[in-house]
Structure 1
């Protein structure tokens, strides 16, 4: 059965259809404020929270160490410093990858050679010889070296640093990249801030942290909307951690062809509504 509508009916129907479609489109792509606010207070939360214990990195196979030795006799100390320079954190975009839109990503300049921890967990130091370092912290290794160096130097001082302490940040952040951490300790909020924060499309309630432990990969999920982040085992990041920020529905909507052509459809409907509004043709 074919129904006939007057121009008056069409004037009433088409604006309603357009408004309904436009509202549905906007609601599907908008982001709730609660989804993007960090560290929200839950019903059971207090104004203070226990923070996860600070992570102390241990030396592992494949690590590259910078070991600098000093004493009252600089000439004598130089025998123990074959690698006298260290890498410096840089924002120079010519030094490596850059973030989107040409923004520089914080990376490191080419690393100076250091002491590579071999597959047996050992390093070789001039005059001192072989030292088993795997499983030690840098402060523990510093104590061991000072004890060995008193044979050769007066009042020796030792500084031990990681040259390849790095994390990778991927996904919906302003500057995804690999970041070298010079102070060997960083939290998840600090790392994300260094990467320029999450974009408006990043899912804050399900940030993935991939961590290698005992030859296995751990997949941890962190909710940045909650204050419980501070007590999470993934609050302090480890060397070689990978942080991935998943895109939300807004980003998916931007790349979905349906959402891309919907404005065209709305424009076409608007045009048809205008034509019928000024036409005396009855369907």
Structure 2
């Protein structure tokens, strides 16, 4: 039986051929990390980025625990301040996840029941712990202090599998940690031109990374700070896939119009 090719079939075959050509032209060279590492043998990076502890800023939320020989008195302080901050967050936005802790105000201070206001902005958590211990020793016998970030968050946007805002469990977070939480880049992400956006001294910094090279491992921006934003740009393959889908839609519309024209011409 002789098979006839309709215009619709021909257009679909043309689209399929186009997709196959684009796929054949794609190279793994654009999607592989650390391409300058030798394929065989052992290799070491000569220099790695040095980790510097993040400093406390206004609008940070801190977990501050004070322990003493009298646990009941320390418990009252921790609960009172935590519930106070929680209530403020609830009034601001009930749809967001509630974070219990001490809010650093615009003056860089936190208010601790029994101790009063303590200026912590510009300090690391280690330095903040020492300062709070010094003030708490006037009230408690051999107090033990714990200070941690409760909202150390990093935002990952663009061509990743799970774009979102991620709250980190600790302060030592790398660029690769954030990408791992986001499910890695999609096949359409530009690995040679990743953008990091950071707040610094009231201004926005924009830093570009090339994940194809090990050079970014010794960048001072390799370790992330609170409120950093990572943006992954789409590559040309993303545009090509969108164009292919658009072409297919146009082909279907064109075929439908052809059928309508034929039907009306026979009426």
- Which bin holds the TM-score, normalised by the shorter protein? 0.7 to 0.9
Structure showing greater radius of gyration is: 1
Q: CA deviation at 1:59?
A: 0.7
TM-score (norm 1): 0.72
Corresponding position of 2:242: 255
How many residues are matched? 229
Corresponding position of 2:28: 33
Match of 2:133 among 136, 146, 168: 146
Say if 1:211 and 1:219, in contact at 8 Å, map to a contact too: yes
Q: CA deviation at 1:194?
A: 0.5
Q: With CA pairs under 8 Å and 6+ residues apart, which has the higher RCO, 1 or 2?
A: 1
Alignment of 1:1-283 (within 5 A): 25-29=19-23, 30-41=25-36, 47-81=44-78, 82-83=80-81, 109-112=97-100, 114-256=101-243, 260-261=247-248
Stretches of structure 2 lacking an aligned partner (at least 5 in a row): 1-12, 87-94, 256-267
Say if 1:175 and 1:196, in contact at 8 Å, map to a contact too: yes
Say if 1:205 and 1:223, in contact at 8 Å, map to a contact too: yes
CA RMSD in angstroms, aligned pairs only: 3.1
Q: CA deviation at 1:84?
A: 5.5
What is the CA–CA distance in structure 2 between the aligned matches of 1:77 and 1:241, rounded to whole Å? 34
What is the CA–CA distance in structure 2 between the aligned matches of 1:24 and 1:66, rounded to whole Å? 56
Which structure has the highest helix share of the two?
Answer: 2
Matched position secondary structure for 2:197: strand
What is the CA–CA distance in structure 2 between the aligned matches of 1:53 and 1:69, rounded to whole Å? 31
TM-score (norm 2): 0.76
Stretches of structure 1 lacking an aligned partner (at least 5 in a row): 1-18, 88-95, 97-107, 269-283
What is the CA–CA distance in structure 2 between the aligned matches of 1:27 and 1:164, rounded to whole Å? 47
Q: CA deviation at 1:33?
A: 0.9
Matched position secondary structure for 1:159: strand
Say if 2:133 and 2:144, in contact at 8 Å, map to a contact too: yes
Q: CA deviation at 1:258?
A: 7.3
Matched position secondary structure for 2:129: helix
